[in-house]
Every structure is written in C-alpha cells, then in structure tokens.
C-alpha cells in the first residue's frame, strides 16, 4: 500500500474510534475528526480559558496509560465529593479553622488535621529533573504497520498491534517554571506499554548530541545551566560557559549548529521531529540482526517559530508549547507522528560507508538511508493530573523489549546507568516503577522487595529463585522462556583498557558544514542571526574568537557575517573544509503539509458585516483547523463566542490571521499612531488590530481579508504582497489562505523579522 495512504488510514482509524467514543459519551463532537460535523455553532469552541475541571471521561483504554486497579478505584479526594476526609478517611466537618483555645486564643498542638494538612503541603514538591525539567505530556496509541517484521521482531511493531503510549516533551536547560519557547534542544521521550514490557524511546528533536562519551554529560550540562554564582541566565545558551564548552569541545559543534537553526525554536511539539539519536541493534524472528536509527516524523510537518515570535512568547505566553499541545488534544486536533527506521547492515565495525554508527555526533543523511515508516502514534488524551503523570514519569534507555538492544555507543552506555540513578533521588526511592504512569501493562514478577514507597503487598516467603517453597522455579526445565528479553549476541572488540576513542570520532566539522549547505537562504540567514545574538551575549573575547575559529572551519560566509556582527576579524579555517553532498531532508522549507490543527485567528467587528462568519468558521473546522474569534471584548459576537480579545490576542499564537471586519477603537481609547501615507488612516482601526497585522505580516504568515477587512489591512500598510489573500467572499479567502498555509510561512517575504 502507498505509505502516505497507510498513515492516513491509521490516523483516521484511531481518530474515528475516538469520535465514536465521544458520540457514545454524548460529549460534543470532536472537531477535525473525519466524518464529524463541525460543532454546534452556538457552543463555545476550543480552547476555552480557563478550562473547566475534567469530568471522568470513562474511556480507560484511551485515557489512561495504566488501566491498573489503582486507577479503577474511585478516589474520594479526586471525585469532588460533598464531604472531605483526613488522609485516613475520617470525615471532616471544618477544614477552614484551626483548633484554638477560644476564638481569639492560641492554636492547640492537639490539632492533628491542621498539622497533617500543612505537613502534607510542606512536602508537596519533589526535586525537578536535573535536565529536561520543563515538560508537557500526553497519552497516545501506537499502531504498527507490520513492515518492520523483516528486521525487528518486537511485537508492538507488528501489523495492526495497538500499544498505549505516554509521551513527554521537554526543554533541556531551563528549570520547571521556565519559558517554553527558548532556544534549546527539545526532549521527545516515549513510553510504549507493550505486551512484552515497557519500551522507552528517550529521544530529542535533534538527531545528534553535544558529546561522544557520556562521561562528559555533567560537564556539558554544567556549562549550559545558569552560572553558579548568580544563577543566571535561565534556560539560555547565550552565555559564556555554554560557548566556552562548545568551542573547546568541538565535537559539540554539530549539535550547536542545529540549536542555532530554526530547529532550536519549534512552532509546536506537534510540528517537531524526534530522533532516538543512537544506533540500536534489532533482531528479526530468524535471528538476523540489523542496526537501526529511530525517527519520529510529525504528520503536520516540521515547523518553527521566528526568533522574534519566540522572544515575544516568552513574555506573552511562557506556556505556549504546553498550552498548544493541551488545547490541540482537547479540541480534537490530535497530534500524530510516524515512527520510521533507517536500517543499516550489521557489521563488526558498525559503520555505514564512512559514517561511524557509534558516534552520536553524526547523522546518516536520509538521502543515503531512507527513513522507512513502520507505525503511527496518535496523541489522544491529556494527562488527568500533571504531577502524577508528567512529573512522575520515569523514562530509561534500558527499558528495552525483545528484538531491540543498545549498541556500544559510549553515550548510550553512560545513559544506561544515569537514568535510574537520578530517578532514585528524584522519585524518592526504588519503587517508582509501581507508579501508575510507569507501571507496565504486563504482569510484573521481579522479586524486588520493600524500600521507600512500597505499594505492593507481596505474598510468599521465598523472593529468590530457584526456590522450593513458593511453588516453582521458573528458570528451570519447563519454564516458558518464549518472548523473554535477551541482549543480542554481538561481538565485543577486545583491546586494552583505555580512556580513549577511535580516530573515526575525530571529524567534528564535515557534517556541520553539510547541515549548513543543506539550508535554504532564509534558514542560513536565521542561523547567522542566532550565532550573532548568542555570541553577542558573551562577555569573554577569547570565547567569541575561539567560536569564530570553529565557524571558519564550517563556512567562510557564516564566519565572516557573524564576525562582522560581533565587530571582530574573521579567522581563516584551521582545517581543510570537506564538501559533503547537501541533504535536502534537513531543510524545513519547501514541502507542503496538511493544515490540520493549525490555529486561525479571525478578527471580527461587532458593528460590521458578519454574514460570512458562520461559513468561514465551519469551513475552518471542516479543514481540521481551529478557528479562534478575536473581538474587541469578551462574550459573543454575531452569536459566536469570542476566544481572544484585542487585549489578549497576539499574532504569534496564530498560523494565519483572517480579517472579517475593520474594528474601530473605542471612543475613549488612547490616540492611535499617525496614519500612513497612501493608506487608510490607521487611527481609524483599533491599534491593537494594526499591531496584530503588522506582526503577522512581519512573521511571514498568511493573511486573508474580505469586505471591510480589506480596509483594516490597508490601515496596517499591507497591500498586495505574497501570502495576502484579499477580496472575494469569506470562504473563498479561506480557501486561498489554506493553500498557502501548507508551506507554513510565506518564505518569499523573508528576511524581514
Ligand atoms: C542522545 C543523547 C541524549 C538524549 C536524546 C537524551 C534525552 C533525554 C530526555 C528526552 C530526557 C527527559 C525525559 C523525560 O521527559 O522525563 C532526559 C532526561 C535525562 N537525561 Fe538524557 N539524553 C541524552 C543524553 C544523556 C546523557 C549522556 C546522560 C547522562 C550520562 C543523560 C542523563 C539524563 C538525566 C539524568 C535525565 C533526567 C531523568 C529524570 O529525572 O527522570 N542524558 N534525557
């Protein structure tokens, strides 16, 4: 079957089932799901703010990752019952007043409820993750296509097998409360609750890593985190220690180049690729092994913010990515990602051509080894409780299932140690795999006993094997070993114990140059600006000069333009530059993508002509996009709910802006800016709308206007330009807008931001 059709059918199957489930539950239909009519127009559309408390949705196989007895038991504390209890179940009459000796007297030590309540509160926080502290999670389902069988016997990849998943997206450097849209790598960690135990694919949105050996992980993280004396800057790489590290450890240059590209500021978690980074070894039913790299490909394409958008969002909506993921799922615009494999023959050297597959600072270009789709994941439900799920989820690269094994990549080897070690202190003891979000959906019989937060009541007297007291010796004759996990037999290169790495790890620049040469002109421009900004924030001259030397070893123009921006001379390369073939797959520009789940802001004027509004909203829903009405005030306009007001809306939130009217400022509003020559007076249009349009235009978004909306466009100084669709009926304008949105931005209008 045509691979694109297979992905479409699988997506429609999963989403269609959710629509049926929604209908069964007599909930509002899921906008965007195939076959689902646009919602009742008088109903508020998503996202609402603030969202109401979540009702029990009664769909455990899709809603929760666990399906365990803990979830099944009603918990009075979570059910908003009519009475409260202590933690041991005694009913409380009053939780608002402490027990005192008289109304104005001192509080009594006897007040157990006061002490219990405050003590529990005092201990609510756990340590944040040492890296990737800021994150957002979602539940999903993965469906295998079956074509991976020829290389990998893992059951979750078999045709039609459905496996629940939990995904946590994250930034790396910032603390738990930091902003989402900073320039950084994004984590993309997936837990598959397979029938053979949990498989965790703990990846990033960048396919290479800063270091080649995990022993340097504390060093690179110390360099990226805030300076230890002042604890600034937060969630930034634009500071001396980061650039000191990456310019001294030139193996980091490849990852750094990806960070400086648009990949460092994704539009959304929904429009981000994911990479397992390391090479894994897989085995098929016949026992043949191959080497593979895992890729996640978002169904909506790979899209980024502009730098200015990212900065604005840091102030306007620091939760932008978290909110975007949550709202998209709530509104039925389910994020979907295809899992793909690059497959390489297993060979003793573990190389593919000239590329060392054990070096995590190298990619294998897709043009040399295509990414073959093997299944689709659809994120179908938000967590019910952030702490219980997103915060307590514990991923581990060692959570492998039969048919998949790690390789000798020295980075993954250190990771195999690090994750459980950090989780022991983060989650307060050794029993965190009993937490609902971490618990496998298979039976567990691990003979691990006791320890902090032990929830299981283990029966028996012989937690050791073999034994002759607890009825069985499963590892002896007759035991069912079918389907057990085994490390795949791979030859280990024998040698002397050394602290050293192979010579093949020494090339730190050729693939960085390849990335640079694969970018479109506008992407190259963004990269130059990013380096210039970041190095411009460094104080130490020697660090800037050393990084310029690295840039000279990547590309002369890149180096000279950044050097000009810094006011420094551009050095000559210290190595011979190698021109690898560019890899067009690395560029984000040029391909058309479906519009599903895109946010369309519609500016309305309560006093204007609203006749096309209903049809435009329906058509937007019908195309799988989310229309958000932007009005001068809250409440309703033309019978439709206003989701954003001129005070709360900024163009950065929208993928396209439509103008259904030309709202004038309120009579008592501050005077607007001067009218522009040759255009309608901007003073005639609410200045907040003018700002919205100016920004949308500057950020190269598609803009559409009809009726009076055209006058508003002109008031913002926007006339004929690529990506501006004006005139005709509202639905016609939407059709034109939708076609151009397929490319995410109007690239011809760059560079302007
Ligand atoms: C290819 C390189 C790497 C990738 C793709 C990667 C990815 C990730 C991701 C996605 C997370 C967040 C997991 C979550 O959402 O809970 C994470 C956390 C973490 N990583 Fe890595 N990482 C890499 C390298 C390393 C290395 C080399 C080490 C240490 C030797 C390391 C140690 C950690 C630790 C300690 C955490 C926090 C885990 C927790 O508290 O649960 N990582 N990593």
Q: How far apart are CA 312 and CA 334, in angstroms?
A: 26
Give tens-digit pLDDT for 342-367: 999 999 999 999 999 999 999 999 99
* pLDDT number for residue 466: 82
Q: Tokens standing for 368?
A: 């040399």
DSSP code of residue 668: T
Instruction: Give mean pLDDT, residues 386-393.
Output: 98
Distances (CA, A) of 587 to 136, 181, 201, 267: 26, 20, 24, 15
Is the model's pLDDT at 680 over the cut of 60? no
Ligand 1 nearest-atom number relative to CA 411? 27
**pLDDT per residue as tens digits for the range 7-51:** 888 888 888 887 777 666 544 433 333 343 333 323 333 333 333
% the chain with pLDDT above 70? 88
What band does 556 get if pLDDT is binned at 50, 70 and 90? very high
Ligand 1: centre distance to CA 131 (Å) = 7
What was the pLDDT predicted at 180? 98
Nearest-angstrom CA–CA distance, 431 and 443: 16
- Report whether pLDDT(679) > 60: no
- CA 11 to ligand 1 centroid distance, Å: 29
Q: What is the mean pLDDT of the chain?
A: 89
pLDDT at 128 over 70: yes
| Confidence check: pLDDT of 70 > 60 | no
Contact in structure between 594 and 300 (CB atoms under 8 Å): yes
> Which ligand 1 atom is nearest residue 132's CA?
12
Q: What angle do CA 734, 740, 741 make, to 5 degrees?
A: 80
pLDDT tens sequence across 440-468: 999 998 999 999 999 999 999 999 888 88
Please state, in angstroms and as integers, the Cα–Cα distance from residue 546 to each residue in 243, 253, 260, 549, 563, following that order. Answer: 9, 12, 17, 5, 11
Catalytic, 526? Answer no
For every residue of 579-628, DSSP letters joined together read -PPP-GGG--SS-----TT-EEEEE--TTS--TTHHHHHHHHHHTT-EEE
How many angstroms separate the Cα of 593 from the Cα of each of 5, 586, 627? 14, 16, 18
How far, in Å, CA of 399 to CA of 433, rounded? 11
Query: What is residue 33's predicted lDDT score, i.e. its pLDDT?
Result: 39
| Nearest atom, ligand 1, residue 421 CA | 35
> CB atoms < 10 A from the CB of 437, how many?
24
Q: What pTM did the predictor assign?
A: 0.91
pLDDT digits (tens, 9 = 90+) for 489-528: 888 877 899 999 999 999 999 999 999 999 999 999 999 9
Is the pLDDT confidence value at 473 over 80? Answer: no
Ligand 1 test: best mutation among 135, 191, 202, most atoms within 8 Å of CB?
202
Distance CA 654, CA 693 (A): 11
Catalytic residue among 147, 198, 204, 205: 204
Q: How high is the pLDDT of residue 81?
A: 61
Distance CA 111, CA 100 (A): 8
**Cα-to-centroid distance, 294 and ligand 1 (Å):** 16
Return all residues near 457 (Cβ < 8 A) that are at least 6 apart.
none
For residue 466, what is the DSSP state?
S
Asked whether residue 58 carries a pLDDT value surpassing 80, the answer given is: no
């Amino acid at each position: 079957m045509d691979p694109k059709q297979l992905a479409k059918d699988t997506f429609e199957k999963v989403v269609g089932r959710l629509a049926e489930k929604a209908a069964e539950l007599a909930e509002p239909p899921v906008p965007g799901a195939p076959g689902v009519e646009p919602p009742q127009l008088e109903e508020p559309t998503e996202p609402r703010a603030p969202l109401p408390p979540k009702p029990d949705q009664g769909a455990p196989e899709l809603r929760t990752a666990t399906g365990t007895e803990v979830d099944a038991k009603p918990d009075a504390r979570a059910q908003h019952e009519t009475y409260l209890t202590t933690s041991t179940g005694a009913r409380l009459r009053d939780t608002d007043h402490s027990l005192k000796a008289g109304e104005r007297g001192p509080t009594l030590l006897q007040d157990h409820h006061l002490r219990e309540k405050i003590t529990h509160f005092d201990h609510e926080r756990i340590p944040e993750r040492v890296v990737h502290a800021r994150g957002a999670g979602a539940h999903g389902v993965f469906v295998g296509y079956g074509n991976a069988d020829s290389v990998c016997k893992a059951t979750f990849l078999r045709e039609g097998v459905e496996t629940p998943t939990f995904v946590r997206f994250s930034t790396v450097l910032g603390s738990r409360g930091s902003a989402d849209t900073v320039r950084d790598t994004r984590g993309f960690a997936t837990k598959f609750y397979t029938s053979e135990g949990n498989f965790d694919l703990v990846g990033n949105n960048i396919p290479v890593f800063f270091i080649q050996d995990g022993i340097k992980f504390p060093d690179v993280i110390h360099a990226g985190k805030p300076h230890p004396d002042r604890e600034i800057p937060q969630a930034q790489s634009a500071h001396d220690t980061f650039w000191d590290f990456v310019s001294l450890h030139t193996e980091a240059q490849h990852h750094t180049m990806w960070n400086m590209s648009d990949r460092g500021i994704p539009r959304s978690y929904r429009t981000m690729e994911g990479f397992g980074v390391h090479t894994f070894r897989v085995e098929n039913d016949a026992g043949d092994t191959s080497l593979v790299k895992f890729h996640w490909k978002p169904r909506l394409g790979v899209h980024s913010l502009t730098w200015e958008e990212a900065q604005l969002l840091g102030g306007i909506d620091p939760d932008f990515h978290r909110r975007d993921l949550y709202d998209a799922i709530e509104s039925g615009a389910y994020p979907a990602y295809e899992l793909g494999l690059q497959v390489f023959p297993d060979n003793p050297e573990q190389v593919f051509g000239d590329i060392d597959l054990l070096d995590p600072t190298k990619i294998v270009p897709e043009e040399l080894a295509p990414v073959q789709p093997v299944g689709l994941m659809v994120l179908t439900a938000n967590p019910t409780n952030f702490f219980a799920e997103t915060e307590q989820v514990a991923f581990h690269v060692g959570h492998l299932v039969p048919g998949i094994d790690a390789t000798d990549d020295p980075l993954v080897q250190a990771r195999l140690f690090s994750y459980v070690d950090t989780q022991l202190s983060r989650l307060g003891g050794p029993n965190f795999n009993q937490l609902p979000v971490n618990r496998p959906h298979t039976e567990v019989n691990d003979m691990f006993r006791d320890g902090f937060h032990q929830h299981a009541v283990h029966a028996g007297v012989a937690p050791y094997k073999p034994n002759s007291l607890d009825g069985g010796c499963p590892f002896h004759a007759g035991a069912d070993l079918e389907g057990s996990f085994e490390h795949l037999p791979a030859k280990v290169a024998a040698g002397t114990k050394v602290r050293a790495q192979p010579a093949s790890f020494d090339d730190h620049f050729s693939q960085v140059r390849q990335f640079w040469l694969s970018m479109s002109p506008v992407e190259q421009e963004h990269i130059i600006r990013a380096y210039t900004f970041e190095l411009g924030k460094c104080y130490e001259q020697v660090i800037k000069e050393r990084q310029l030397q690295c840039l000279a070893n990547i590309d002369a123009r890149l180096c000279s333009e950044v050097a000009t921006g810094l006011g420094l001379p551009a050095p000559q390369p210290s190595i011979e530059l190698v021109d690898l073939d560019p890899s067009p797959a690395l560029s984000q520009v040029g391909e058309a993508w479906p519009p599903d789940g895109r946010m369309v802001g519609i500016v309305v004027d309560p006093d204007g002509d609203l006749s096309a509004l209903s049809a435009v909203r329906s058509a937007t829903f019908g195309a799988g996009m989310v229309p958000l009405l932007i009005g001068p005030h809250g409440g309703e306009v033309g019978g439709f709910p206003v989701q954003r007001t001129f005070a709360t809306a900024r163009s950065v939130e929208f993928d396209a802006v439509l103008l259904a009217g030309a709202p004038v400022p309120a009579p008592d509003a501050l005077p607007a800016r001067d009218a522009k020559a040759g255009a309608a007076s901007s003073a005639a249009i609410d200045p907040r709308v003018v700002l919205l349009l100016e920004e949308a235009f500057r950020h190269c978004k598609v803009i559409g206007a009809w009726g009076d909306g055209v006058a508003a466009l002109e008031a913002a100084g926007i006339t004929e330009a690529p990506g501006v669709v004006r005139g005709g009926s509202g639905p016609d304008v939407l059709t034109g807008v939708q076609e151009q949105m397929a490319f995410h931005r109007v690239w011809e209008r760059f560079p302007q931001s």
